Structures are given as C-alpha cells and as structure tokens.
A and B are shown apart, each in its own frame.
Chain A
C-alpha cells in the first residue's frame, strides 16, 4: 500500500493516532503529528512511499505544536525523536523543514551498521555515482536535475554503504532546495512536485522536491559505485571534469563522512576499497545541459 492509495482522511487518522509508518529506503520511519498543514504537505510530498503499519520502525518522530515562550500568541512546533527534543522549537510554518532535518539527524547520529558518507548519490546503467558534499557543491540541486533526467535517485544527502558487500543503498528522501536554486529548478523542471517555499529558516528559504516515483519504487535495488565526482558550481564557467588523485579523494570523502571515524578499521577498509573501485574526478559546472552531456558520456563509455 502506498500513501496516495489511501484517502486523505484515512492518512490523517493514521498520522494522528497510531502514527504513520513509511518505508524510506532501508529504514521504516514512524511519524506522528496532529498539525494539519503538515499532514496536508506530507500527503502530497510523501505520496509515493510505501505504508508499513505492521512492521518495526527504527525511527519514531513527532511534530508537536506548543505556545511560543517569547510570544504567547504565537504557536511553535517542536521535533521529537523518541520523545526527546534535539532542537529548539521552530515557527509553525517550518514544520516540514523541522521534520526533514530531524529525520536526517536521527539517521546521522544513530546508524552505524552502514557507512554514512555525506554525499548525493545517483545511479546510471547499474552503477552509482557519488557527488560528495563540500562547500559550494550544490549537490542537492544537481541531484534534483539528474534524478529527473535519466538517473535514478539514491539520495541527495546520504551515501549509505554496506561495507561488507560494498553496495550502496538507496534512501530517496525529499530534496530540500535552498534560496536561488528554487527558482532555477522551477524553470528547468516546471513539472515536478515541490512543497511551498519556507522562508527564514536557518538555511534561508527552503523548498522540498518530491523524489521521482520510480526511484522510490526501486529503492530496494542496491548498486556498486563506479565514479566519485566532487562537483562545484561556479557561475558562467564552461563545464570541466578532471581526474584527482586517489589519496586526495580518500581524505576528502573520509573527512566529510557522518560516521567514518565511528566505524574504525571497517570504515578505513571500506573507503579504500571504494576508492580503488572508482574513478575520481573534480567537476566544475554552471549549466545543467552541458553537465548532463558530460555525465552521460562518462557513464556510457563503459
């Protein structure tokens, strides 16, 4: 059963009463809230996720409303993970952003049975490309474009790697576009479903893109990695891709991962194997057409 196969009222009852359980990649997340505007947004943006009411959920999250301490006439929302609040409260219009950040945080601090690289991940021809996060990478924007242009979305944030089998696991979540990239993507991909822009968050204005249905449908299909590409968006440059040294790629990938250090020797071995099995590049780009041309060329070469 998928979210858009049940009527809104039933969805609303689920999420208010026993909590809505959805499969997001390898994890089941149980979401509770009574805050109606959030329920409406989730019904639209989570519409392709599978409902798993009778399965175990690893993450139990809530968005609750409360009165603001500073202004008693204003309502705030608070994110709870297993009843504990890891953040300050948020203005109520940021409920969706709070929920999405909260789930990311929960994954980042708790999951250690997989290596968690900080990277966007897409798949093409049965192989995975990693776009690790580094300042100015614009990985979410690039990832949004690719996942609606012939690449399968794994994640815009987490490179989940099973270190024993050296496989990447898809975890397609909402993609939070920031500031200028919202309008850029609206122009470039006018047909995609996007949540309302949420202004004044800690990261500026944020709007969440719904992942492609097919990517969610195929989210049990794992793949090995073939390319690691460190992207950088620079205005008005022509696209350029060049190889970088393995040692440099190793250090950039490891130093920016969520749990590389926690995994100890297993993490070291996994990253070494990963680097050995991948070609590593730096990519500079400014427009999507030419970057896709380069990537299609790269992925079709082999």
Chain B
C-alpha cells in the first residue's frame, strides 16, 4: 500500500523522516512545517533533528528561535517530570511496593533515541492494584491532591478507568497519573497486570522500574490504537517507531518476543495496526513475516477503511485550511475509540455527557 498524503502532511513527514530534504525548504515551507509540527507536539523533535544534521545555522532565524523555544519547553517539562518522579519515590520510600514508569519518563530512562526531544506533560506510573489505596493515601498525606472533580468524573475514574483521578502536589503543577492496568476496565480486552510486573526491568540506582521492551511497545500500541482517539497523535506513532527501531537493533529475537507477547496478552490487534502504520508512515523496518503471525489481524475491508482514516486523523489539519475529510476521519476514529473501550449502554450516556462538557469547558482543553 502506498501512502497518499496531502501536501501539507508531506511537508511535515518529510521534515521528520528525511532531514536532508530540509535544505530545500523555502520560507513558506518552513513556516508551515513549524506550525504543523507544533500542533502534534513534535516541534522539539524537529529542533533536535535540525541540530543533529548540522543545518541549524542554515535555517531562517525566525524558525530556529521557535525550535529553540520548543526545546526549552520540552526540557522544562522533562525536568518537572523527573522531579515529580523523584518526589513520588521519596514520598513512597517506606512502602514496600513496585512502581513502573510509563511513557515519556520511561523512554528517557530507557535512553530511547530522541526521548530528550519528547514533549511529556504528565507523569504516568503503573502500580499494583493491591497497593493502590496505600499509595494514594500516602501521597495525599504528603501533599498531593486530586483536582476538583464532578461526581460523574469521579465515578468514571473509579469504576471504568484504568487509572485513578490525577494527583497534583500542592506546590507543583505536574499531574501524576497512577494506573493499575493498561486498558480501561470497560473494554472487552482484559490484561493481567501481574505479567507486566513479573518481567519489569529495574533502573540503575533507583527503585523505579520499566516495562520490558516488548511490553513497552505493546503499551504504546494499545494507547494509540485502543485508548486514544488518534487525532493529532502522530507523535505517539513516532514513539512506536522509535521504540521498535531501538529495541529491534539490540535484542536478537525482539520481533518474535513481540508477537508471542501480543498473542499471549490478546492485544495483537492494536499491535498489528501499530506495525502496519508505523511501517507505512515512518518506514519502520518490520520483517515481512512478523505481522502475519499476529492472531487478531483485521479483515481486508476493515484494513482498507483504516488505511484511509488513520493517516488523516494522525496528521494535523492544515492550520488555515482544515479539510472536511480529515474532520470526518477524526470523528469516526473518535467514535471507534470509544466503541472499543466501552459497551454501548455505558458509551451513549458517556458521549452525551462529554459533548455537553466540551461546550462548557472548551477553554480548558487548550492546555495540551
């Protein structure tokens, strides 16, 4: 399958995957590239690439100042995340439990290439469900608080979600999201978190642990194709690409492990889409025989539809000329993401509630 992208998306994709072509970008290409990259949280990444390829000084100054600004922001958020993790571990020092760092902080600790350019807003942790109550109350004793929540949201988190309501320390701003599993409880898919803890990997000089490489990839995959709505999530697909490139080069039987684990955890559909779209968009070197060994591959029609919708949803809209087809793709992906997370009898009232709230709290959404 060939990827057929509108011009503005090509400008972004080429800039991210083939920095050599940036030498040929004219001012208006650069201007559009920066706006699009910022929209999908990849402006810091672009800045790293431009530096790495040694073309920083050849880029228009009005572009480098924006990339420099983005890199400052990225570094600040990463520092805040590291410190929040430090303080969480400090607060839980006396508790005998096991804590796994997820997403951005985990990528930095695992020294994934380009992790230093990743914009990570919240700190995500995975803890054993049996220790969840102790951890939550201990953190609250030591100064963390829940943001004010409506009764509906409280119910949503406590009964349906795979995480508790976010915690924020009274003197800081970083949100701590504490997960007890990786998939919402309402989803048809179930996962046994003990399997994740059993194979987690310790980090030098710390009590924090990381998911093992294949689980890290699988978590990223289910976040993107199971838990999220895909709109503007190009960054997350790039995370997947980075993880797979990095781990496959260091672990001999990485792909076999990935397949076996995905099948074992019954999460091979999301993993299939991840391999497929990462390969399609970022040319990830996935061996040919890998995807066919995954158990839950989508049928041909389903894949045909996804091929048309997913790229349109992942890439940002043109900031001045949004396309109707891309909006439609986003809407469909939004509905799909909810449909696979929740049974209909929960979903319909949930979406109705959310749409009312979206109108009321539109201004809050601009945060991320």
User: Is there any pair of Cβ atoms, one from A and one from B, under 8 angstroms apart in the complex?
Assistant: yes
B72 touches A82 (CB 8 A): no
Q: Across the interface, do A82 and B73 meet the contact criterion of CB distance under 8 Å?
A: no
* Contact A60 to B320, CB < 8 A, known contacts A55-B62, A264-B79: yes
Q: Assess whether B252 is interfacial by the CB under 8 Å rule.
A: no
Q: Determine if B322 is an interface residue (Cβ-Cβ < 8 Å).
A: yes
Q: How far is the CA of A57 from the CA of B363 in the complex (A)?
A: 25
Contacts A69-B359, A112-B68 given: A84-B320 contact, CB under 8 Å? no
The reply to whether A60 and B319 contact each other, CB–CB distance below 8 Å, is yes
What mask results when residues 40 to 79 of chain B are scored 1 for a CB within 8 Å of chain A, else 0?
A: 0000000000000000000010110110111011011001
Decide if B362 touches A88 in the complex (CB within 8 Å). Answer: yes
Question: How distant is the Cα of A86 from the Cα of B361 in the complex, in angstroms?
Answer: 11
Interface of B is mostly: helix
Distance between Cα atoms of A58 and B366 in the complex (Å): 19
Q: A88 contacts which of B68, B317, B363 (Cβ < 8 Å)?
A: B363
Whether B261 sits at the interface, judged by CB under 8 Å, is: no
A54 to B60, CA, bound (A): 13
Residues of B within 8 A of A57 (CB): 31, 62
Chain A residues lying within 8 Å of B30, measured Cβ to Cβ, are 56
* B146 partner residues in chain A, CB cutoff 8 A: none
**In contact, B72 and A86 (Cβ under 8 angstroms):** no
A264 x B317 contact (CB < 8 A):
no
A262 to B66, CA, bound (A): 15
- Nearest residue (CB) in B for A27 is B62
Residues in chain B near residue A83, CB distance under 8 A: 317, 319-320, 322
Closest A residue, CB atoms, query B72 = A112
- Would you call B27 an interface residue if the criterion is a C-beta within 8 Å of the partner chain's C-beta atoms? yes
Interface of A is mostly: loop
When A56-B62, A112-B69 are in contact, do A84 and B366 touch as well, CB less than 8 Å?
A: yes
User: Once the chains bind, are B35 and A60 in contact (CB under 8 Å)?
Assistant: yes
Complex contacts, A264 vs chain B, CB 8 Å: 75-76, 79
8 Å CB contacts to B: which residues of A236-272? 259, 261-264
Within 8 A of B (CB), among A88-117: 88, 110-113
- Digit string of B233-273 for contact with A (CB within 8 Å is 1, else 0)? 00000000000000000000000000000000000000000
B319→A82 contact, CB < 8 A: yes
Residues of B within 8 Å of A56, CB to CB, are 27-28, 30-31, 60, 62-63
B76 near A113: Cβ-Cβ < 8 Å? no
Q: How large is the interface on B (under 10, 10 to 19, 20 to 34, 35 or more residues)?
A: 20 to 34
- Measured CA separation A56–B62 after assembly (Å): 7
| B39 proximal to A (CB < 8 A) | yes
Complexed CA–CA distance, A240 and B359 (Å): 50
Closest to B322 in A: A83
Q: Which of A55, A83, A87, A111 has most chain B Cβ within 10 Å?
A: A83
Which residues of chain B in 107-125 are interfacial with respect to chain A, using CB atoms and an 8 Å cutoff?
A: none
Cβ-defined contact, B38 with A82, below 8 A: yes
CB distance from B299 to the nearest CB of A (A): 36
- Determine the residue in chain A with the shortest Cβ distance to B66: A58
A residues less than 8 Å from B75 (CB atoms): 264
**Residue A290, interface by CB 8 Å:** no
Q: Do B31 and A262 touch across chains, with their CB atoms under 8 A apart? A: no
List chain A residues, Cβ under 8 A from B31. 56-57
Given A57-B31, A264-B79, A110 and B66 touching (CB < 8 A)? Answer: yes
Q: Mark B75-104, 1 if CB is under 8 A from A, else 0.
A: 110010000000000000000000000000
By beta carbon, the residue of chain A nearest B35 is A82
Q: Per-residue CB proximity of A29-60 to B under 8 Å, as 1/0?
A: 00010000000000000000000001111101
Report A-chain residues with C-beta under 8 Å of the C-beta of B69: 110-113
Given contacts A86-B366, A264-B75, A58 and B359 within 8 Å (CB-CB): no
A215 at the interface (CB under 8 A from B): no
Answer yes or no: A28 CB below 8 A from chain B CBs.
yes
Q: In the complex, what residues of A have CB within 8 A of residue B35's CB? A: 60, 82
Closest to B76 in A: A262
Q: Identify the B interface with A (CB < 8 A).
A: 27-28, 30-31, 35, 38-39, 60, 62-63, 65-66, 68-70, 72-73, 75-76, 79, 317, 319-320, 322, 359, 362-363, 366
A60-B35, A60-B320 are known contacts; what are 9 more A-B pairs with Cβ within 8 Å? A55-B27, A69-B359, A82-B35, A83-B320, A84-B366, A88-B363, A111-B65, A113-B69, A113-B72
